[in-house]
Amino acid sequence: MTRPPTGPAGARARRQSLDLRCYLVTSGTDRHTVETAAAAAAAGAGIVQVRAKELEARELLDLVIAVARAVSAVAPACRVLVDDRADVAFAAASRGERVHGVHLGQGDLPVTDARTLLGSRAIIGLTTGTLDLVRAAEEQTELLDYVGAGPFRPTPTKDSGRAPLGVDGYRELLAATRLPIVAIGDVTPDDVPALAGTGIAGAALVRAIMAADDPAGAVREVLAGFTPPTSRRRTRARRR
């Protein structure tokens, strides 16, 4: 495996290739999960994180491979990550599947060990959501590629025990780190323009895409929310 980077140059190179604006976190373990992930990627989602905490490692590996193949067939630039399980990400990538890294929780494999396992090209994200956690992540900027921060609002998908951040809560976190921040926690496409205005790099959505009648449409709404207001005005003017 490639050795981990020893300076900031490697981290900058990885981050420059990332599109975090629309970040899908999957739910479910059936064909719908695979098909929705592919539809989201085809519509422009830059990241698909496969999350299925109820599965054993071998079952999760099978799901990750199915999602990775479906996504790469329609959107080769989309990055597929595995939630929590660096070992599963390693196994899939070692088989030649287009799996690009892992998103770690605070109780998962330490970032240093995940980087050693997955190599310098892997994408590694870390869950945060408080100022102390963001400051701790900042000390590992050469190993991490982004941090997830939430919850934006209370969500039944995952009870972190942390207080909801709301829109204004992200400003303090952004001031404490050079790492890109992805907002998560019952985010909807309607929330994205206000969140994007804080300077976050992306928004992670679960139900708003996975349960949508039109997942591709939801992705396009999210991406539009990251378009600078001046660009939106120019686009409308050209259409008149």
Q: pLDDT per residue over 75-85, tens digit each?
A: 999 999 999 99
4 pLDDT band, cuts 50/70/90, is very low
In 95-214, which residue ranges form alpha helices assigned H by DSSP? 111-118, 131-138, 169-174, 192-196, 207-210
The total domain count for the chain is 1
Rounded Cα–Cα distance for residues 115 and 98 (Å): 17
Q: Range with the lowest mean pLDDT among 38-52, 55-69, 76-90, 223-237?
A: 223-237
Rounded Cα–Cα distance for residues 230 and 228 (Å): 5
CATH number at residue 221: 3.20.20.70
Q: To the nearest 5 percent, what fractions of the chain are helix, strand and coil? A: 45, 15, 40
Domain of residue 167 covers: 8-239
- Residue 1 placed within a domain: no
- Residue 32 placed within a domain: yes
Interval 193-209: pLDDT, tens: 999 999 999 999 999 99
- Residue 176 placed within a domain: yes
- Residue 154 placed within a domain: yes
1 pLDDT band, cuts 50/70/90, is very low
